[in-house]
């Protein structure tokens, strides 16, 4: 938990034990009870009964750190600071329209955004690339995630139609719906255990255990995810009415790029008419720029909107 001088608080979460929805669910409960169950008085003090009249003054803990551990801490700090300084983070707030419009177009909000990301990436980099979208597998006990490969033959055909003058808007809409339908089916398959990437990873683990080298797995698993994306769920608990209490709207969280020359994009649907995008890349890469890609996302969303108007 990171608390700043102005009273704002955020979370830096270690990922191995759980995924973002779990942390988000927990945090929504904390925020709700902090403000609505307990709350604060007019002077800013938390409400409640004092359980202890006298408490001992806090004392600083003194740690016994060996010289070897101290050197390890120092070297780890250098690595962490280098990674931190290399992060190019841009947060784009899209308040022009949200999932209300995509539903009006009879389109999945997630598929709508994923197609916008494909168009934005093509316009930004001039090519298509392997794209990762996280899907939850919490229908299963101890389920975590599966991969939705958002860059498909169908999405490619639609993106190319948007960049060509040889297509009518009616043709583009038809290709868009086809790409969205395929994406939704991919997502359903991933959620219900019919994805491919976790199976491939299992084969990789078994091959390492058996000391078997396979050209297929070597090629498949060496391909970089230059566009890594994930939708962060918002207001899972429905404890707070964000229309009534807009001050509790959160832009969610984000993550870094998976590839050195790639982008990490986390997006949050807040209510019906608001979208947040966390765009990350590495400053050391001359090919990427998070602010530029954020603008490409905006223009792609607007381009899709214009198709249906």
Catalytic residues: 15
Check if the beta carbon of residue 4 is closer than 8 Å to that of residue 14: no
Which of 205, 195, 108 shows the shortest CA–CA distance to 149?
195
Copy the structure tokens of residue 4: 């700043």
Helix (H, G, I), strand (E, B) or coil at 249: coil
Helix (H, G, I), strand (E, B) or coil at 41: coil
Which of 283, 238, 305, 308 shows the shortest CA–CA distance to 84?
283
b (16+ CB within 10 A) / e for 189-210 = ebbeeebebbeeeebeeeeeee
Copy the structure tokens of residue 102: 């995509």
Residues 6+ apart with CB under 8 A from 24: 232, 233, 234, 236, 252, 253
Copy the structure tokens of residue 254: 């984000």
Copy the structure tokens of residue 41: 């008085």
DSSP 49-76: --S-S--PPP--------HHHHHHHHHH
């Amino acid at each position: 938990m990171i608390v700043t001088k102005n009273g704002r608080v955020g979370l830096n979460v270690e990922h191995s034990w759980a995924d973002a929805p779990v942390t988000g669910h927990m945090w929504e409960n904390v925020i709700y009870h902090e403000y609505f169950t307990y709350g604060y008085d007019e002077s800013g003090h938390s409400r409640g009964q004092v359980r202890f009249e006298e408490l001992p003054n806090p004392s600083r803990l003194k740690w016994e750190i060996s010289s070897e551990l101290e050197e390890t801490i120092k070297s780890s700090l250098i690595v962490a600071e280098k990674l931190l300084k290399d992060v190019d983070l841009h947060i784009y707030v899209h308040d022009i329209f949200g999932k209300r419009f995509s539903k009006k177009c009879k389109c999945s909000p997630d598929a709508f955004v994923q197609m916008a990301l494909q168009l934005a990436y093509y316009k930004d980099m001039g090519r298509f690339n392997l794209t990762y979208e996280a899907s939850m597998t919490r229908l299963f006990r101890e389920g975590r995630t599966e991969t939705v490969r958002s860059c498909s033959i169908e999405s490619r055909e639609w993106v190319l139609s948007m960049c060509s003058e040889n297509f009518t808007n009616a043709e583009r809409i038809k290709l868009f719906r086809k790409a969205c339908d395929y994406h939704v089916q991919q997502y359903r398959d991933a959620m219900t255990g019919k994805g491919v990437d976790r199976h491939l990873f299992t084969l990789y683990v078994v091959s390492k255990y058996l000391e078997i080298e396979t050209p297929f797995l070597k090629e498949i698993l060496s391909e970089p995810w230059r566009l890594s994306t994930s939708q962060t769920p918002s207001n899972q608990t429905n404890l707070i009415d964000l229309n009534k209490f807009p001050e509790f709207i959160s832009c969610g969280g984000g993550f870094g790029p998976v590839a050195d020359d790639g982008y990490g994009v986390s997006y949050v649907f807040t209510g019906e008419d608001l979208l947040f995008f966390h765009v990350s890349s590495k400053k050391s890469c001359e090919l990427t720029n998070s602010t530029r890609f954020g603008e490409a996302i905006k223009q792609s969303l607007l381009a899709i909107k214009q198709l249906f108007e």
